[in-house]
Structure 1
Amino acid sequence: MPRFLLILLLLLITTLHATAGTTSYDSAYQQFSQHLQDVRRQHEQLRSNEAELHEQLQALEGSPLLYRVLQQQRLSLPQIENDPFLPDVIAQIRLQQFEVNQALRQARREHRQEPQLEADQQRLQLLLNLLVELQQEQRELLNTSNRLNQVLDERLFWVNSSPPVNSQWFLLLPQRLTQQFQSFSTGALLPTPEQLSSSFWRTLLLMLLAVVLWWLRQHIERHLATCNQQLEGFQAAHQACNLEGNCAPPPPAPWLTPVSLLLTGLLCLPRPLLLLSAASLLSNPDSDLINPAAGLAALALSGFMLLFMHRVLTSARIAELHFAWPETTRQRLLSFVRHLAWVLLPASFILALAEQQTLSLPADVLGVLVLLCSGLALCWLFARLMWQTPPLYNSLLLHWTITGLLILMPLLLVVITAMGYYFAGLKLTSRLLISLYVVVGWVVTETSVYRMILLATERIRHQREQEHQLLVVEASGEELADVKPLPRLEVEQIYQQSMRLARFLLLLGFGGLLWWVWSDLLTAFRYLDTLVLWQYSSGDSLQPISLADFLAATFILGFALFLAANLPGLLEILVLSRLQLQQGSAYAITTLLNYAITATGLVMMLSALGVSWDKLQWLVAALTVGLGFGLQEIFANFVSGLILLFERPVRIGDVVTLGNLSGRVRQIRIRATTITDFDRKDIIVPNKNFITGQLINWSLTDTVTRVIVKVGVAYGSDLDKTREILLAAAEANPRVLEDPKPQVLFLNFGDSTLDHELRIHVKELSDRNPSIDEINRYIDQRFREEGIEIAFRQLDIHLRNSEGVEKLVQTRMG
């Protein structure tokens, strides 16, 4: 404040021994005393208003007059701020007090009497006590004002500000619309001479800027066309080089896309700037009547966003060239923007006017009608757009989650407004519109940043290829084989790291913007703490569970399930895939992380609902006993699943044999493991069978396995030639490993065969059956060429007593 600054300057220039010092101290003391009385008077008035507010809340609970009473209370609150000069004044007085005390100590050492210094010391102490008391009183006044504002904001958000929309509302709609139009006054449209002079230069500057941009539009369009031609030429040359196999051309500058977006924005600015200049000219903040300045400003902002998106999708060719969006996507978004303009432009203008009618909102039927129609139209537009759009990020869950949010948010506004919470609907609508602008900016900025990173990495790749070609040209014939690119970071690694950093920074920046947009409405939701759903005993007292606690518990559970579904996959992509882990280790880590997140979220949800750990542990103990006796098989499968994840005798992708079942492990869940056999059938096997039964894991430590090919040749065959052919069959097959070496063994004299075994080793399990097939075909062909007979089973029958047999035959025939 000016008088405090004047007093501070007087205290700085006043000397302690001057006769004018007493007058300055007395004057400052009187002024600060008067200010302290004013602050105490304001504080007492605020306390009285607070007590009166609580009485009115109790007396008018559920009454339609409560909204008007709360708005009048809110408008009558004074604007209170801390004095910015008071801490400096206190610091200066403390400094002067220290100097006076030092002078007094020096005088006492010299045995001198200084009555003036002692008087100054007393005056400074009195003034310091007064200022400290004033500072404390100001803090209490500010706290009371903030508390009263918070209560008013909370209750206004949850109080019916207009009649509910029902059949009676529609019957009275024509009459009330006529009354509302008749109540509009044009007196506030014309600014006063003082307001005209204060806004003249701002209005003139906006109009001049719009005229300059309109005059330069052809130059801007030519510059934009040049940027598009550069990018289009690069893309055409790049495609031609890929087809012919030649080296790619140098890419354009990475700043080409941001410059094109900036030029497109400049082309869209003239008309919104003219609307802003009209709003500046008609602004009249001192009038209580409806003023169109706020509506024109909102119309300028929404108009600029629509014009910008329309140019991006059409004449600017940014969506086609820079963003590389498919033609179907571009046409779909263009249709959405064109339909959105019919909803957004009138809604933003009328709702901006409605926000000025704080006391007359119960009579505003035009704003209610516009809010209902625009909300339903947005629901239809978003549903139509998302239904025709392919799954976002190739995830159906994410796509339908975003679709549900886009449809439910405007539908929620319709429901709130129809129930009579028109003030809350206006507040939420303004935040949703700003959030929509932020999301559009997010999409455009994200796509342009990704394009910049792509062009920058392409320039690095092209530069390195040129350097390598230069080294090859300069090298001699003998050194040509030794020429290698310079040892630098891989281009693909640079691209991936830059993309991850850009995603993180964009998420952080736009998340902060959304938080800033919605932060002032967060206090309104504290009112939910007063809505008690039930109570629970904690010691000797009852603790309430409010609606806010229930919503927080629901959010915690939903967020935990979301993290359990997405965080393990994100961790595997960003971290685990870059580590040298054994097969199945990443799956074990992500599965355990999934269990941990789900369990933590469940415990936090129960804690938010009043189920503390001292009660939960008895529940866990009882469940453990019940599982041990009644559900022991399920419990055994659960523990076996944990053993499989920790001990890892079976991993994802392993080929196992369990009894007469063979297949590849696809999933390891809490209760059972899914095995896909070689007929591509999914077989669910309880986890207990893997722990307690005999299991063959073909790929636990090594995928190299031995294959035995059995061959039986006839008696009298050339055994050396047989051995030679079997070894040749193994050596000619590329699937057979050289180490361990193939081995041929003559093991048995059979009934009609000389049994041989060809023992080979293959690297992969998928090579077992193909190698047997190929070796058998080779052996069959070579045996026929060499005349070696593959014996078949023969049986010789010798009859020692033929007479008995003939007699038996005759007896049976007779």
Structure 2
Amino acid sequence: MLYSMLYRFIALSVLVPFLSSANANAQTVVEPPSAAADQAAGDAIESGLAEVAAASDLDETLSQSLTELYKQAKSYQAITASRTENAKSFRQMSDTAADDIAELSTQLQSLPRLDVDPVSELTPEQLRQESVSIQAEVETLSEKIKAEVSEPAARQKRLTEIPSLIAEAEKKLREVQAQLELPTPTTEEPIETRARLVRTKSFAAALQAEVSELKAEQAAYLATVDLLPLQKQRDERRLQSLKERLERVREAAVAQQQESNDAAITSLKRAVANATPELKPIAEDNLRFAEERLAMVAETADATALMSKLKEKRTEVEAAQIASEDRLDAVGLTQAMGQLLRSKRDEYRKLRLQFEQSTSTEEKTAAYQVASFELEDRLADLNERLVSAASEDQTSERELLSAQRDQIQETLQSQNSLLQTLLSMETENRQLQQAIDGYIAFVDKNVFWIRSAAPVSIREVYEIPQATKWMLDVRNYKSLGKQFVSGIISRPIASLIGAIAVLYLFARRGTFRQRISDSGKAAESWNAKFDSTTQSLVATVMLSSAWPALAAFLGCVVICGSADTLFTRGVGYALIYVALFTSSRHLLSQTCRDGGLADKHFGWSESLRKTLRINLRWYTNLDVLIVFAMILFHQHPDATVRSAVARFSATLLFLATSVFHHFIARPSSPVYSDVRRRDPDSKIYRFRRVIWAIAAGLPMMFAILTLLGYLDTAYRLGQSLQSTMLLVVALVVAVALAFRWLHLQQAKMARDQALAMRRQKLAGEENESGGSLATDVGIEIQKEAMQDLPALSEQTRKLVFVIASAAGIAGLSLVWKDVLPAMEMLDRFELYSIGTGDAIDRVTYRDILLAIIGIVATVIAVKNVPALLELLVLRRTGLDSGARYAMTTILRYVLTIGGVILTLNFLSLPWTKLGWLLAAASVGLGFGLQEIFANFVSGIILLLERPVRVGDVVTIDSTTGVVSRIQMRATTVTSWDRKELVVPNKNLVTGKLLNWSLSNVVNRLKLDVGVSYDSDVDEVRAILQSVVADHPDVMDDPGPLINFETFGDSSLNFVVRFYLATLDRRVGVMHEVNAEILKRFRAAGISVPFPQRDVHVVRQADIANPSSPGEGPNIHQASHNGAVNSK
């Protein structure tokens, strides 16, 4: 009743300013047209349409315009009829409101109760049907009550809107009536005038009906202000009565089934007692099945009751959220509303813990499913035994087996029923958890920045004596001792394990220090391994965990006790929070110890470590006391004391944090010196003043908020700030560990490369990736085998920093999501939408921001992830340089495609449904870009199948050279003349290609050698054989071949054929063998002849006057150098 009076007062106070103006304007408004007027208007519209259709002299444009006017008039007429009917319903609601209120009041005084109806006389089937019927009615009535909860706020909001809607409609109506009073334009045809007037009058009638409907609605809502609470009260009583009736029906069904099962068990026990020794196992199995079925029936009843309770709580939470949203819309966010929502949130948090899902239900469900399979298998075996036991002397066995079959079938039915109930209960529990989470998120989103207490005042100082008295009360410490003992007794094993763990941490502190020192010495070795860093990290964590572990152990023991009081509960939670608070500080402090991680492994400077240790010492010791007091007094029974101590401690905590951040992050801090020493272009150093302002200013702002009365806000800000500190420490240690590992890996790679180069130098060989054949002719190929360690390390460091930054941003977004809901605010502004109907995707500024982040992440990943893959994986495999190059290139393609798909998803672009676009694009690209795409796909095939690799010697179209680069579109082959031949990848895949070094790099070298005719053939052959056999690069198998091939014009021609294992030194070997042959020939006196020619010179006089018959011309032999000697 109080709520209805308040509702009426608010509604009337809102409407008073509007009613006078509405009544003043209502004098010019006439009532909606009668039924006869509606009929006349309808006839005018139909006759007008017929007239337009019959007028053949009208042009098409005018005819369409007139037809459209009559159609609009027809639609206005339909709107008028609908609004008139609605107004009639509202008037009826107003007229019957008083009678309905009186009738409901009488009904509420004599509402029949359903739980008095007898249910014990119903059969099991009737009870089942009655349960299903009542359950359906309960669900329907619950939904109706949920709507009734939100109806008052919706009506109140509507009442605030109606006056302005009435004023707007009346204004339009006056304008339309003024148009009707205007004279007819002289240029307008009569048929046009009639159409215009019909449309305007229909519009005026619609406006009149709207005003009438709004006024009737307004009057109906005001008249039924007291009716809504009565209807809600009636339905709630009806719902409660239905629930009680449902409970009685279920109890009756369980009682009947229990009675039937008890009788069956009694009968089965007699059967066991009367059974023969041979049949007794069967009878005992029948009894066991009956007892199991009885337990399942009881468990099903309990699960059903719990499921009903879960459903009831879920309905309550959903109704509470709807009511809270409506109240916020009606009243707005006030301090009182904030307190109400906070109390509801805390209540539902406890409810969530009460019904929190456990793994026992899932395990039980799985066990029952397995048991049902076993029963089905046993039932099949039992049917076979019944068939075999068909003789007359097996009658007793057959009866017991038949009874067992019935028992198994009934057990299966009970088991299936229990499974269905458990699954439904899990679903209902999950829905309840989701509803509670939704309500908590709704409250956190709306009341976070609402003041939870009054601003600070001098009166809070007067609460200090009361707080001190409660703190020093001896009775509290006696109860604390009892609580501690009770906690140990209630969980003795866990307490013993915890005590042993804490004692171990304290007893081994000296060992941990020594291990840190030894690991630091090992880290300074030239061949240090990461194991020393890992050992130092473990020892540091164990050393820093002693005091936090002690506080956490004591807090858990206190909380688990049975003698729970506000003081003991506050002490328990305070100890746990102190453990969480100090853990990160102790870890960072122990990291900075001399000879520890930061000193010997991370390479932090002495000034940085000293600054951190000094400030961490005072900050940790001071804030432990503050945090302990703040959490302890959060459980104080007096709200005033609780508020005063919370404000004082939170303010001190924020101020101390601000001072600590100032000493650590000020522009002259050694933190930035170390950062700049490692990276001169570091953005951290560049923005050091901004970082200092944020780090020191945020806690100061939080302290001011605390003084202004935002205690709940400050409490959660403090939690987020401490979580941020823990996150920062974890990220700093993780990044330092990653850089340490990278440093050790880089040193190991440098040592391996230096050792490999030394071995190659000693063996007189060059690196495989830059083949000597290419070097001999001056060709530069794309190097892959020998990694650029500084560049690779720099890329990996950047990637580690990017990953750490992304992890930090993600962690901060989780820690501060309730404080700075920027992403949710961006999600409120829609840019565009895609889709139709229910499948509409909204694209907001949040999606644009995520798309930008996705693009940036893709670019960074494409640049850096292949280097990380090379460093972590590929370098440890036996793959050659070409295979590693292929894998990293394909990885870049995959990352690019994944980034594009991710960005399209953020923008809600349906890339999976753009098949038509892809088809059209493929047709266009097939003509315009077919060669480019063919080369691109061929490049991928080259990287996968690898018919050519970087460094291979190939012959393409009579051009022989070395493959120097394989790119996305084309491959570069550098010939021996150092000319670069750019070959499209398609030609390498579809054309003919000679690869000299694909699978077998053994190649044959052929040399032609000529000696003078006076040389000894056998001696020449022996010299050639010796030269070739003595060369280290010539293969023994297959061996060299030396043949005396032909008699030349000037020499005896020998052909030397021998094989080389690789193509690397083909040119060099050719030079070395030729030089050695010439050297041996000279030593043996074997000459290599020049070409010789005999030239016959005939003079003209000799031809005319021969000296004697038969005498020819003078013959002069040419010299060996080909010159002609004339006499």
1:47 aligns with 2:308: no
Equivalent-residue separation in structure 2 for 1:401 and 1:676 (angstroms): 43
1:309 aligns with 2:591: yes
- Displacement, 1:663? 5.8
Change (3 A) 1:382 1:448: closer
1:341 aligns with 2:653: no
Equivalent-residue separation in structure 2 for 1:407 and 1:802 (angstroms): 109
Would you say the 8 A contact 2:540–2:587 is kept in 1?
no
User: In the TM superposition, what are the counterparts of 1:749-760 in structure 2 within 5 Å?
Assistant: 753-760=1051-1058
- Displacement, 1:650? 1.1
Deviates more, 1:343-352 or 1:685-694: 343-352
Equivalent-residue separation in structure 1 for 2:920 and 2:990 (angstroms): 27
| Structure 2 letter corresponding to 1:79 | K
Equivalent-residue separation in structure 2 for 1:46 and 1:255 (angstroms): 51
Equivalent residue in structure 2 for 1:740, among 1015, 1035, 1038: 1038
| Structure 2 letter corresponding to 1:725 | I
User: In the TM superposition, what are the counterparts of 1:39-438 in structure 2 within 5 Å?
Assistant: 47-48=319-320, 50-53=322-325, 55-56=327-328, 74=345, 79-81=350-352, 144-155=435-446, 188=467, 191=471, 192-199=473-480, 264-265=543-544, 269=547, 300-311=582-593, 313-314=594-595, 325=601, 328=603, 334=609, 337-338=612-613, 341=616, 345=620, 377=664, 384-389=673-678, 426=718, 428-438=720-730
Secondary structure of the 1:781 match is helix
Deviates more, 1:511-520 or 1:564-573: 511-520
- Displacement, 1:269? 3.9
Equivalent-residue separation in structure 2 for 1:407 and 1:677 (angstroms): 58
User: In the TM superposition, what are the counterparts of 1:595-606 in structure 2 within 5 Å?
Assistant: 595-606=893-904
Secondary structure of the 1:534 match is strand
Would you say the 8 A contact 1:40–1:137 is kept in 2?
no
Which has more helix, going by share of residues?
A: 2
- Displacement, 1:638? 1.2
Q: How many residues align?
A: 624
1:537 alignment counterpart: 834
Equivalent residue in structure 1 for 2:995, among 691, 697, 701: 697
1:125 alignment counterpart: none
User: In the TM superposition, what are the counterparts of 1:463-478 in structure 2 within 5 Å?
Assistant: none
Instruction: Indicate the structure whose relative CO is greater, using CA pairs within 8 Å and at least 6 residues apart.
Output: 1
Would you say the 8 A contact 1:637–1:671 is kept in 2?
yes
Would you say the 8 A contact 2:548–2:583 is kept in 1?
no
Secondary structure of the 1:699 match is coil
User: In the TM superposition, what are the counterparts of 1:458-497 in structure 2 within 5 Å?
Assistant: none
Would you say the 8 A contact 1:155–1:527 is kept in 2?
no
Change (3 A) 1:139 1:731: closer
Question: What is the Cα-based RMSD across aligned positions, in Å?
Answer: 7.1
Equivalent-residue separation in structure 1 for 2:651 and 2:463 (angstroms): 13
Listed one character per residue, the Cα deviations across residues 386-421 of structure 1 (whole Å, up to 9, x for unaligned) are: 554599xxxx9xxx9999999999998889889999
Change (3 A) 1:213 1:520: closer
Would you say the 8 A contact 1:650–1:697 is kept in 2?
yes
Would you say the 8 A contact 1:295–1:348 is kept in 2?
no
Secondary structure of the 2:350 match is coil
Listed one character per residue, the Cα deviations across residues 657-678 of structure 1 (whole Å, up to 9, x for unaligned) are: 5579766546533223466889
Would you say the 8 A contact 1:666–1:675 is kept in 2?
yes
Equivalent residue in structure 2 for 1:624, among 922, 925, 934: 922
1:500 alignment counterpart: none
Listed one character per residue, the Cα deviations across residues 357-387 of structure 1 (whole Å, up to 9, x for unaligned) are: 9999999888777777767855977665455
Listed one character per residue, the Cα deviations across residues 233-271 of structure 1 (whole Å, up to 9, x for unaligned) are: 9999x99xx9xxxxxxxxx999987995587448x7499
- Displacement, 1:714? 4.1
Equivalent-residue separation in structure 1 for 2:431 and 2:997 (angstroms): 74
Change (3 A) 1:417 1:590: same
- Displacement, 1:710? 3.5
Gaps of 5+ in 1: 1-7, 18-28, 92-131, 163-175, 207-211, 243-251, 451-510, 804-814
Secondary structure of the 1:649 match is coil
Equivalent-residue separation in structure 2 for 1:366 and 1:260 (angstroms): 34
Equivalent-residue separation in structure 2 for 1:429 and 1:43 (angstroms): 36
- Displacement, 1:47? 3.4
Listed one character per residue, the Cα deviations across residues 650-703 of structure 1 (whole Å, up to 9, x for unaligned) are: 134423355797665465332234668899999976434534776442211211
| Structure 2 letter corresponding to 1:434 | L
1:610 alignment counterpart: 908
Would you say the 8 A contact 1:368–1:417 is kept in 2?
yes
Task: Calculate the TM-score normalised by the size of structure 1.
Answer: 0.55
| Structure 1 letter corresponding to 2:727 | S
Would you say the 8 A contact 2:731–2:808 is kept in 1?
no
Secondary structure of the 2:1081 match is helix
Equivalent-residue separation in structure 1 for 2:896 and 2:355 (angstroms): 50
Secondary structure of the 2:939 match is helix
| Structure 2 letter corresponding to 1:148 | Y
Would you say the 8 A contact 2:540–2:591 is kept in 1?
no
Equivalent-residue separation in structure 2 for 1:219 and 1:582 (angstroms): 53
Listed one character per residue, the Cα deviations across residues 501-532 of structure 1 (whole Å, up to 9, x for unaligned) are: xxxxxxxxxx9999999878778878469534
Equivalent-residue separation in structure 1 for 2:986 and 2:357 (angstroms): 75
Equivalent-residue separation in structure 2 for 1:272 and 1:160 (angstroms): 37
- Displacement, 1:546? 4.0
Equivalent-residue separation in structure 1 for 2:1037 and 2:514 (angstroms): 65
Change (3 A) 1:295 1:792: same
Listed one character per residue, the Cα deviations across residues 422-450 of structure 1 (whole Å, up to 9, x for unaligned) are: 86865543332233455578799999999
User: In the TM superposition, what are the counterparts of 1:513-662 in structure 2 within 5 Å?
Assistant: 527=824, 530-540=827-837, 542-547=840-845, 549-550=847-848, 553=851, 584-585=882-883, 587-588=885-886, 591-613=889-911, 615-657=913-955
- Displacement, 1:731? 0.6
1:120 alignment counterpart: none
Task: Calculate the TM-score normalised by the size of structure 2.
Answer: 0.42
1:711 aligns with 2:1009: yes
Equivalent-residue separation in structure 1 for 2:1029 and 2:427 (angstroms): 96
1:772 aligns with 2:1070: yes
1:790 aligns with 2:1066: no
Would you say the 8 A contact 1:257–1:448 is kept in 2?
no
Equivalent-residue separation in structure 1 for 2:549 and 2:428 (angstroms): 51
Would you say the 8 A contact 2:523–2:533 is kept in 1?
no
Equivalent-residue separation in structure 2 for 1:135 and 1:752 (angstroms): 104
| Structure 1 letter corresponding to 2:968 | I
| Structure 2 letter corresponding to 1:435 | L
| Structure 2 letter corresponding to 1:301 | S
- Displacement, 1:760? 1.2
- Displacement, 1:782? 0.9
- Displacement, 1:762? 0.5
Would you say the 8 A contact 1:747–1:757 is kept in 2?
yes
Equivalent-residue separation in structure 2 for 1:664 and 1:553 (angstroms): 43
Listed one character per residue, the Cα deviations across residues 694-731 of structure 1 (whole Å, up to 9, x for unaligned) are: 64422112111112234343453333322221111111
Deviates more, 1:717-726 or 1:679-688: 679-688
Change (3 A) 1:710 1:439: same
Secondary structure of the 2:1001 match is coil
